[in-house]
Amino acid sequence: MHTPFYLIDKSRLLVNLEKIAWLRTASGAKSLLALKCFATWSVFDIMADYMDGSTSSSLYEVKLGYEKFGGETHAYSVAYADHEIAEVLANCDKVIFNSIGQLNRFDAASQGHVRGLRVNPGVSTSEFDLADPARPFSRLGEHDPKQIAAVADRITGLMFHNNCENDDFDRFDEMLTMIETRFGDTLHKMNWISLGGGIHFTGADYPLERLAARLRRFGDDFGVQVYLEPGEAAITGAATLEVTVLDTLYNGKNLAIVDSSIEAHMLDLLIYREPAKITPDTGAHEWMICGKSCLAGDIFGEFRFDAPLKSGDRISFQDAAGYTMVKKNWFNGVKMPGIAIRELDGTITEVREFDYADFKSALS
């Protein structure tokens, strides 16, 4: 394949999936893939063997989960439009409303469907205000226990999503205790509770046994089916972005321009001002790796190599599965990365290539 392309490694994906399956058995909690993070359906076949279904943030994600992932399909959106709701309901097992206003608006349309409500507990683990669901004046979920209790007879479940890349079990435990204390009366009236995503339980040295015990206790105490919505946890470390050096120059630092773009292909790094990852990132030669778009700040980061870079060299950016393929764009008309899969036997299969026709058809 011509670079750039995302390379998904099934053997590395499997490491995460096996931890998810173990946690499901040990805790009783079901796991749904968060499509907002990763929606490359060419590997849904292997993921569906270890997970219970998918959860969404829009009509199109609901349909993709229903058509391609199978299992349970949970529908959530910050707000549904009138013309969307019928199709959403036709493609989901559970519909979760972001507000009591949306629950009221679509009360008649959703009669007979399993319904839930998003709750904002007012605490989170996000280090970025941009991504903090509990930030001041947040629109993400209802926060008043009395108002939530008043509609408890119209729903059967609640969804909390207040973790963000949280690898600290004690902090998770502390926040869950706060949820139990503040919303306990309503929790006892529910059949199911989703604790959302953002729990980095597939990371190295995470105390999975403690998490499993805490989730089981939570489910037993309130008599509910617990759901988790892993996104990054399901695909961390499972893919790379493969690029090629096109040119080198020196302007106070060694610069290498590659056939990719951080703004177009790894947008979260630009948004959160974080560098890409390269392994082993050692050696005597330090180089700044730059994207080929016209954005001055289109820079992947500074890395160390064993030898000076030259045109034609291949570079692999690590951990390139989450919030990349779902956010890639056509800025500057830079060629969108293809998608390839390294199968369990080591063979590589190209599953998608993008070309000028795709660029043209995205516009009018």
pLDDT band for 1, please (50, 70, 90 cuts): confident
Tens digits of residue pLDDT in 292-303: 999 999 999 999
pLDDT of residue 139: 97
CA separation for the pair 5, 8 (Å, rounded): 10
Counting other chains too, the contacts that 129-134 makes at CB distance below 8 Å and 24 or more residues apart are 130/271, 130/272, 131/164, 131/272, 132/164, 133/161, 133/162, 133/164, 134/162
Mean pLDDT score of the chain, rounded to an integer? 97
The predicted-structure confidence for 159-174, as pLDDT tens digits, reads as follows: 999 999 999 999 999 9
pLDDT of residue 291: 98
For residue 166, give every residue at least 6 positions away whose Cβ sits within 8 Å of its Cβ, in sequence order, or none.
Answer: 125, 172, 198, 199, 200
- CA distance readout (Å), 42 to 198, 351, 352: 23, 7, 9
Residue pair 344/352 in contact by the 8 Å Cβ criterion: no
Ordered alpha helix ranges (H), the chain: 10-27, 44-48, 59-64, 85-90, 100-105, 145-150, 169-187, 208-222, 232-235, 262-265, 267-271, 356-361
Q: What is the pLDDT of residues 40-76, one digit of tens each?
A: 999 999 999 999 999 999 999 999 999 999 999 999 9
**90-136 pLDDT per residue, tens:** 999 999 999 999 999 999 999 999 999 999 999 999 989 999 999 99
pLDDT for 169 equals: 97
Angle formed by the axes of helices 208-222 and 169-187, nearest 10°: 10
Q: Would you say residue 312 has pLDDT above 90?
A: yes
pLDDT tens for each residue of 174-226 = 999 999 999 999 999 999 999 999 999 999 999 999 999 999 999 999 999 99
According to DSSP H, which parts of 159-251 are helical? 169-187, 208-222, 232-235
At which residue do the structure tokens 């948004």 appear?
Answer: 271
How many residues are given for the chain? 364
Return the percentage of the chain with pLDDT > 90, whole number: 99
Question: What average pLDDT does this structure show over 152-161?
Answer: 98
Q: For the residues 259-286, what does the mean pLDDT come to? A: 96
Residue 37 predicted with pLDDT over 90: yes
Cα(218)–Cα(184) distance, integer angstroms = 11
Please enumerate in sequence order all residues whose Cβ is within 8 A of that of 258, keeping only pairs 6 or more positions apart, or say none.
4, 243, 244, 245, 246, 289, 290, 291, 292, 300, 315
This prediction has a pTM of 0.96
DSSP assignment, residue 330?
-
pLDDT score for 127: 87
The span from the CA of 332 to the CA of 328, in Å, is 12
pLDDT at 360 over 90: yes
- Assign 3-state DSSP to the chain and report helix, strand, coil percentages, each to 5: 30, 25, 45
The four Cα atoms 216, 221, 224, 229 give a dihedral, to 10 degrees, of -40
